[in-house]
A and B are shown apart, each in its own frame.
Chain A
């Protein structure tokens, strides 16, 4: 299933600052809300997001209950070399989703 959307330039010049944007489908249930029967819905959130650029970690974010459902993250990095961008979302209940794409640097 298409769980996440990515957006970053496919090609860039060496040294150029590139913007990376990600959107993922996730309920981000806070653990504070009661359901229709009054029982508290257990917490279910993404706790960590990381971005690796050709194996090197270039961005990391911790996510918390106050972050909206279907979190959108945007950040920048410097295009250094051609390689793979790997995006990993990890969270409660063993949630783990990985997406990747390649960037060509000239």
Chain B
């Protein structure tokens, strides 16, 4: 009887643990789940194809638009001005009264200060600029802003992460909180920390944003992905960055 009771206690105790968030000390970057050859590819700038976008972004940073300043015209040397910027986004935007991600910030700057049409989502110049800006935060810890206005959005993101979706009825948390380290169709399940975006993904054979990756996951569970830069997507990005707070930025990361 006592044995049965203790077994029941164990089961009850085990259940919440299963659905718990990952402890800070157990957090691991997707980098740790890769093969040594993919890790080498990320470590060595000559091997890392993501560096091609960083270089392209560096050129765009200097490029002058007609009758408008270049990025460098206002922000100067990105090494100083953009250091840590990618580690702070998504951040709350006063004018839009909602959180925006780094790509949206770039596009806002472009339309407001450079009087240029916004870059298309996932377009090469937008990826190049975000890779270049992201690379300025390489090695710095992710530091989400302490902003009370972000709190409700962060909570929405957390709910999104835990809500079963799609025809397969899976939530993000079921794979990335409960079953990380396991395998899905032969591939390791990582913890889903957005430490290296935009990433060079070998499967894509190109550089892609966090939203592209999230859309992949959504179609994978047979859910209809949200539109680019939909508030839901930005809120999920916000939660993922909070979840990875303190982990180091690896942009441009390489992933399988």
Contacts and interface: CB of A to CB of B under 8 A. Distances in A.
Interface in A56-75: 68-70, 72
A1 interface: yes
B217 interface: no
B46 A7 contact: yes
A70 B46 contact: no
A25 interface: yes
Interface residues on A, range: 10 to 19
B19 interface: no
Most buried by B among A3, A21, A69: A69
B82 interface: no
B56 interface: yes
30 contacts: A1-B56, A1-B59, A2-B55, A2-B56, A2-B58, A2-B59, A5-B46, A5-B51, A5-B55, A7-B46, A21-B46, A23-B46, A23-B47, A23-B49, A23-B51, A23-B52, A25-B49, A25-B52, A27-B205, A27-B206, A28-B205, A68-B202, A68-B205, A69-B49, A69-B205, A69-B206, A70-B49, A72-B46, A72-B47, A72-B49
A72 B254 CA distance: 15
A61 to B, nearest CB: 17
B221 to A, nearest CB: 21
Interface string B34-70: 0000000000001101011001101100000000000
A3 B49 CA distance: 11
B228 to A, nearest CB: 15
Contacts of A2: 52, 55-56, 58-59
Nearest to A70: B49
A2 B55 CA distance: 6
Interface of A: 1-3, 5, 7, 21, 23-25, 27-28, 68-70, 72
A72 B51 CA distance: 12
A1 B55 CA distance: 8
A57 B111 CA distance: 49
A27 B206 CA distance: 8
Nearest to A72: B47
Nearest to A24: B52
Contacts of B47: 23, 72
Contacts of B55: 2, 5
Contacts of B59: 1-2
A5 B206 CA distance: 16
Interface in B153-203: 202
6 nearest CB pairs, A to B: A2-B55, A69-B205, A70-B49, A25-B52, A7-B46, A21-B46
